[in-house]
Amino acid sequence: MGASGRRKEIYREAFGILGEDLPGVGLFQTHAIYGTSGRVTWRPDAQESFFLADMEMRS
């Protein structure tokens, strides 16, 4: 079997696995809940990223 035939066999096996055990597809996202101290100045962004450099402690 040449390289092309081996590649086809690998793809056939891979797609067979994907057909039986489908990967999850994120069609929606649950709401994120955050909790911080009243002394922390921070607002979550739309991508729900956590950049500690954007957080500050109030005195």
Residue 58, pLDDT above cutoff 90: no
How much is the pTM? 0.37
Domain coordinates in residue numbering, the chain: 3-57
Instruction: Calculate the average pLDDT of the chain.
Output: 80
Burial of 36-57, coded b for 16+ CB within 10 Å and e otherwise, reads eeeeeeeeeeeeeeeeeeeeee
Residue range 12-55, pLDDT digits in tens: 999 999 888 877 776 776 677 777 788 888 777 777 777 777 77
